[in-house]
């Protein structure tokens, strides 16, 4: 009779381990996705800032866009450049698609839009 109880307990431990392992893997994937979104936001923000820095000295909107695209490390971005009398503004948007479906459920969207804007004073 003791042998049967031991087998049941061993099976229970396996089921509990499987449940905990599944939850642990989901948590690790969400952490991985949050790290990715942080990295991509940093790249997008850097692209906007570098485009604005280039725009301080050269007010050619096409060149500013090209600099921002080059600094975006291969991301598919379309920077917007605008000028006022004393400033240049570069705006970059990027649609981030998470790997885990958990973030999709939380945001009710397929992607998260990362937005960065940099404004700097023009040199005269």
* Rounded CA separation 96/99 (Å): 10
Task: For residue 25, give Cα distances in angstroms to 21, 31, 51, 69.
Answer: 6, 10, 39, 35
Q: Rounded to whole angstroms, how far apart are CA atoms 64 and 91?
A: 11
Burial class (CB in 10 A: 0-12, 13-18, 19+), 80: middle
Spell out the per-residue pLDDT of the chain, length 124, in tens.
455 555 556 678 888 888 999 999 988 988 998 899 999 999 999 999 999 999 998 889 999 999 999 999 889 999 999 999 899 999 999 999 888 877 667 777 788 899 999 999 988 6
């Amino acid at each position: 009779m003791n042998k049967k109880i031991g087998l049941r307990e061993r099976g229970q431990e396996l089921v509990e381990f499987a449940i905990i392992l599944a939850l642990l893997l989901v948590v690790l994937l969400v952490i991985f996705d949050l790290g990715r979104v942080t990295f991509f936001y940093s790249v997008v923000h850097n692209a906007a800032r570098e485009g604005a820095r280039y725009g301080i000295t050269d007010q050619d909107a096409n060149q500013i866009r090209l600099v921002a695209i080059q600094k975006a490390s291969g991301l598919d971005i379309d920077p917007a450049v605008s000028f006022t009398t004393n400033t240049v503004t570069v705006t970059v948007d990027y649609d981030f698609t998470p790997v885990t479906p958990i973030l999709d459920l939380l945001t009710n969207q397929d992607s998260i839009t990362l937005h960065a804007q940099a404004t700097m004073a023009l040199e005269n």
